[in-house]
Amino acid sequence: MVWNAPAAPGYTGPHAVNTRLGNLQMIDLQGEVGPEHIQFGRDGKLYTTVASGNILRMEADGTAQQVFAHTGGRVLGFDFDAQGNLIAADAVKGLLSIAPDAKVTVLTDTVNGDPIRYADAVVVAKSGKMYFSDASTRFAPKDWGGTFEASVLDILEQASTGRILEYDPATQATRLVASGLSFANGVALSGDEQSLFVNETGKYRVCKIAVNADQLDVRTIGTQAHAQAQVLLDNLPGYPDNLMRGLDGKIWLGFAKPRNPTVDNMAGKPWLRSLTLRLPRVLWPIPKAYGHVIAFTEDGKVVADLQDPSGSYPETTAITETKDRLYVQSLHAHGLGWLPK
C-alpha cells in the first residue's frame, strides 16, 4: 500500500529533548522481562504481564511477587471488571476473563465469524462492555514469530487492517466498532465513556472514536466529515504503543520506538517495503532504543513529556500513575522501572 508519511517533527516544542525519564528506580522481576502493561487490581495489588506469557502479581513496592496466571498465549493488555476478574487481550487466544482464582475463560475469539488474530489492548466500561484492539488481521503473532515480529511486519506493509471491537458480556456478542487502522494498539475511554482514544501505531497518531460507532472505516477520516471519529494527535515523534488513564484527567502514552527516516522514506515505495518484509530480522529497519512517554488531555494538549535518549529502559509503552509513583511500562526491560512523583 502507498501512503504518505508526514515529515517527522523531531524532538522540538512540547517534545524537546530532556532526561526526565532517567534515573529510574527498579523493581527486580526475578528473571522476567518486559513489563508491557501494568495495572492495579481491586485487591490493591500490582499486576503486570511479561514476555514469558506470565501475569505477575505483587505489592506496590515489588515485594511478595508471584505468578498469578498463565493463559498459554501472550497477554499484552488487560483491565479489571466490576467483579474483580482480569480481562485480558491475549494476542494468541483472543479476549479472556481470568477469575481471582486464576481460572481462564475465553470470552470471544471471533467477530462475525472472522478470527481475532492479534488482541492487543482492552478497557472495561462502567456498563460492563469491553472495548479492545485487534492490531492486525494480516499478521497473527502465532504465525509470524511472535508479537514484536508481527507488529513490525504489519507496520511495514501498511495494509491498515487493525480494528476496534466491542464485547458485551450481557449478550456475549462481539461487534465491529471501527476498522482500517494501521496497527490498532492502545485503547482508553474518555471520562464520560462516550469515546475511545486509540493509538494507530503505524500512522504515528491517536484517533478519537465514538463508542457507538458501527463498522466505521477510519481510513476515511480526513476525506469525509465524521461525527464519530477524528484524529486527535497527529505526526507524533515515535510509534505510539499503550494508552493509560492517569490522574487529573490526563492520558499517558508511550512510544515503543522513535521515528525511523528509513521507514518514512519507504512510505511511497510499496515494492521496497515488500522486499524488506522478506529480509532476515537482523536486516529490518528497526529504530534505536529511546525512552519516551507523554501525557495529554482529552482535547489533545500535551501536558507532560519524559524522555531517556540513552534508551537504557527500552521500548517504553506507557505509564501507570498512582498518587505517589509513575510506573513505566516496557516491551523488553529487565525489570520494572518507576519514578517518585
Residue 1 lies in a domain: no
If you average pLDDT over residues 119-142, what whole number do you get? 98
Q: For residue 136, what is the domain's CATH number?
A: 2.120.10.30
pLDDT band at 220 (very low <50, low <70, confident <90, very high): confident
Residue with cell 495494509: 159
Average model confidence (pLDDT) for the chain? Answer: 95
Q: Report the distance separating Cα 123 and Cα 133, nearest Å.
A: 9
At 82-113, the pLDDT tens digits run 999 999 999 999 999 999 999 999 999 999 99
Report yes or no on 253 lying in a domain: yes
User: Which set of grid coordinates corresponds to residue 42?
Assistant: 481491586
Q: What is the pLDDT of residue 223?
A: 59
The least confident of 179-188, 264-273, 306-315 is 264-273
Mean pLDDT across 114-133: 99
- Whole-number percent of the chain with pLDDT over 70: 99
Rounded CA gap, 69 and 169, in Å? 22
Flag whether 137 is in a domain: yes
pTM: 0.96
Q: In angstroms, how far is CA 80 from the centroid of its own chain?
A: 16
Give, in order, the Cα–Cα distances in Å from 108 to each of 93, 167, 220, 257, 301: 9, 8, 28, 31, 35
Q: Which of the 8 DSSP states describes residue 241?
A: E
Is residue 245 predicted with pLDDT exceeding 90? yes
DSSP character string of 2-53 = ---PPPP--S-GGG----TT-S-EEE--TT-----EEEE-TTS-EEEE-TTS
Q: How many domains does the chain have?
A: 1
Looking at the DSSP bridge assignments, the partners of residue 224 are 221
Whether residue 166 contacts residue 9, with contact meaning beta carbons closer than 8 Å, is answered with no
In a domain, 267, yes or no: yes
Residue 222 lies in a domain: yes
Tell me the C-alpha to C-alpha distance, in Å, between residue 111 and each of 102, 141, 276, 338. 25, 18, 31, 38
In a domain, 182, yes or no: yes
Say which residues have a Cβ less than 8 Å from residue 83's Cβ, sequence separation at least 6.
Answer: none
pLDDT at 13: 96
Tell me the pLDDT band of 4, cut-offs 50, 70 and 90: confident
pLDDT, tens only, 35-72:
999 999 999 999 999 999 999 999 999 999 999 999 99
CB-CB contact of 289 with 308 (8 Å): no
CB atoms within 10 A of CB 234: 15
Instruction: Decide if 271 is inside a domain.
Output: yes
pLDDT at 224: 61
**φ and ψ at residue 94, rounded to 5 degrees:** 110, -150
Distance (Å, rounded) from C-alpha 73 to C-alpha 154?
20
Local confidence band at 26 (pLDDT 50, 70, 90 cut-offs): very high
pLDDT category of residue 226 using cuts at 50, 70 and 90: confident
pLDDT at position 225:
60
2 domain residue, yes or no: no
Q: Which domain holds residue 223?
A: 13-340
C-alpha distances in angstroms, 209 versus 19, 41, 71, 159, 200? 33, 27, 30, 20, 12
Separation between Cα atoms, residue 104 and residue 100, nearest integer Å: 10
User: Percent of the chain beyond pLDDT 90?
Assistant: 89
The residues, any chain, with a CB within 8 Å of residue 166's CB and separated by 6 or more, are 129, 130, 131, 174, 175, 177, 211
**How far does CA 156 lie from the centroid of its chain?**
17
Q: What is the pLDDT of residue 37?
A: 98
pLDDT, greater one: 270 or 39: 39
CA distance 138 to 156: 12
99 or 263, which is more confident? Answer: 99
- Confidence check: pLDDT of 160 > 70: yes
| pLDDT reported for residue 175 | 99
- Averaged over 220-238, what is the pLDDT? 86
Q: What distances in angstroms separate CA 319 from CA 38, 93, 215, one per listed residue?
A: 8, 25, 30
